[in-house]
Amino acid sequence: MNRLRTLTEQGQAIWLDYIRRDLLENGRLARLISEDGLTGVTSNPAIFEKAIGDSDLYDGDIRAALEEDPEISTQQLYEKLAIRDIQMAADLLAPVYEATDGADGFVSLEVSPHLAHDTEGTLLEARHLWRTVDRPNLMIKVPATREGIPAVESLLAEGVHVNITLMFSLAHYEAVAQAYLRGVERASKPQRSASVASFFVSRVDTLIDRRLAESAAAQAHELAGRIAIANSKMAYARYREIFHGSAFARLKAEGARPQRVLWASTSTKNPDYSDVLYVEELIGAETVNTIPPKTLDDFRDRGEVAPTLTAGLDRAQADLSALAAIGIDLDAATDRLQREGLEKFGVPFDRLLAALDRKRVDLAAAPLGAAAAGRTK
């Protein structure tokens, strides 16, 4: 039994939260698609920083780009490298996209994290990436900030697929779901619109567990490791109310698809918790879990599959009520997590550009063929 494939029987799609050139070229991604039923890939600035900045896998492409245009900007150089990876992954997932009639098989590429509070800048970059990648199974990642929400609506109205990211709270989710409804309402072909709402999980426990450890309340220790899952279950319950209720009924009749909830940040940060906790406890229909490679392997080895998202809702609500009763403000905590998340993507993005600046100098000085030789070591 392949436990990852069994998840699809519960209606959940599995995406890989990772991308790197060798994964695309050595057949590993193709095997994950064919053997494990993987149906998507997500990327972010931190992933690209490790892939491009910390390896020589891209040195040949960097040299070629510099030889073609010595004046190319570092931002343009990054885009060239990232877009090639995204196109390769999209082509590998194209059969999934076609077999599902455009419901799955997506690859996500993020706009610059420095545009998180710039609606017009986000729209310009998102449109540029959409045109340049030129793949129907691309999703543009836009953060769920106050300024990102109107950009999401406009992009969906234009027919651009959107992955709305850095959501941590029910308020974040509500804003994103309503933006989807408004955007699809304006779209000329609502039946072709595709979007996921990326709800971050483990980081909630990381922060709330620290607050619980500082609390003198008798029941604080009982809530440790429970709030992220409770928060996610409430978001999924709201998803079901919206997309299986009257708010979506007319669009559904016109062929529009629900905006699936995607569980992000699902690797376990606390070594005291199960390494597959945020996969096992978030299994449900019409959802996606984007999983990093190690957690993917761990779940394939020993994960348990059951429809957990709709189970224990009363307990989840009680946990959230208990958290409020002991004076911990979850909304304030999740707003902080969104701000920190933007910083955590902005810093590696800047480090990546700095690494590319260094590489362009080093490769310009290196003898021709040195980069290719380095890749064979």
Q: DSSP string spanning 258-318?
A: P-EEEEE--S---TTS-TTHHHHTT--TTEEEEE-HHHHHHHHHH------TTS-HHHHHH
Active-site entry in 80, 141, 233, 359: 141
At a CB cut-off of 8 Å and minimum separation 6, what does 348 contact?
Answer: 45, 46, 48, 49, 50
d(CA 287, CA 12): 5
DSSP assignment of 312-344, as one string?
A: -HHHHHHHHHHHHHTT--HHHHHHHHHHHHHHH
- For residues 59 and 371, the answer to whether their CB atoms sit within 8 Å is yes
Residue 141 known to be catalytic: yes
Range list of H helices, 134-267? 148-157, 170-186, 202-214, 220-223, 227-243, 246-253
Asked whether 173 and 197 are in contact (CB, 8 A), the reply is: yes
Residues assigned a catalytic role = 141
